Structure formats: C-alpha cells, structure tokens
Amino acid sequence: MLWLLTGALLVWIYLGIRILARRRRIINASGVFRCKVRSTSWGVEALGYRWPRRMSYALWAHDVLVVYRRFALNQVLVLECRFAEDLEVAPSTLRRLGPCPLLLRIRLDDGAMVEVAAPRRACSELVGPYIAAQLHPSERG
C-alpha cells in the first residue's frame, strides 16, 4: 500500500513540474504579454461579458491573437482579427494590471467584438500588427 501512495505522489509531483515548466515557457516567450480578455458582443462562446478574475497571456501571430487561459495555460483561444477599433485607457475597475492599464477593442473576422486589457508597459505587444492604434486620433492622418 505504501508503494502505491508513493507512486501516486511521484506522479502528482511530475505533473506539477510539467505544468510549471509549461507556464514558464509560455510566459517568458518573446512577444507574450499579460492581459484580460472579454467579449462585448455575440459570437465568442469561450469568453464572457465580464472581466475575468484570472490573468491570461497572449501573443500576436500575424493578425491572429493567441490567448492562453487557466492556471496551467492549457486553454488556448485563437482570435482571428479583422482590425483594431480603438486603444484607450482601461476602466479603473480592472485589477492586477498595474496603474493606468490600456484597453484595445478588436473586431474579429466574424464581426464579434473583443476587448483586451493589458499593462501600459506592454503597449507595443498589445497593439501588435495594428501599430496605428497606438497613435492619438489627431496623429493618424
């Protein structure tokens, strides 16, 4: 019986190490930024209308936003974006994103709207291929 408990403990330790290694690999990858993502319209079943409590991590791959969610970062959302609508200061109700976080509104290929909030220091990673969204409206031309 003792060998069975020892074996189960070793399996749990192994799985914990694997999960932590995966998290570290994703979080430390180039272009990855902390964020919170929510849907503001129909069409994205995996996202709710409220801001999540947990932090997500995301990165841009061309015009696709890849979002890693959950503790083990094992839920992956692939959001195919048409264009970025607006970049502004996020509401003060958002927590754990540092002082004065930014909010990017994205229109997806299917017409749904998604909001992505991230720390201000991650501005260039947040806007990704939509670098024009970083400009103030008077500077866009």
Residue 11 pLDDT grade (very low, low, confident, very high; cuts 50, 70, 90): very high
Each residue's pLDDT tens digit, 13-67: 999 999 999 999 999 999 999 999 999 988 778 888 999 999 999 999 989 999 9
Work out the end-to-end distance of the chain between its first and last CA atoms, rounded to an integer number of angstroms: 74
Q: How much is the pLDDT for 135?
A: 60
Q: How confident is the model at residue 133 (pLDDT cuts 50, 70, 90)?
A: low
What pLDDT does 92 receive?
A: 84
Q: Using 50, 70 and 90 to split pLDDT, how confident is the model at 136? A: low
Alpha carbon separation from 14 to 7, 54, 85, 93 (Å, rounded): 11, 24, 44, 38
Q: What pLDDT, on the 0 to 100 scale, is given for residue 65?
A: 96
| 56: nearest Cα among 110, 114, 135 | 114
Report which DSSP code applies to 92.
Answer: T
According to the model, what pLDDT value does residue 4 have? Answer: 92
């201000």: which residue's tokens? 120
- 34 three-state secondary structure: strand
CB 59 within 8 A of CB 43: no
- Going by C-alpha positions, the residue among 69, 90, 88 that lies closest to residue 78 is 69
Distance between CA atoms of residues 3 and 102, nearest Å:
53
Q: What is the pLDDT of residue 134?
A: 62
**Residue 21 token pair:** 């290694």
Over residues 68-124, the pLDDT tens digits come to: 999 889 999 999 999 898 899 998 888 899 999 999 999 999 999 999 999 999 998
The class that CATH gives domain 31-139 is mainly beta
The encoded tokens of residue 52 equal 């999540």
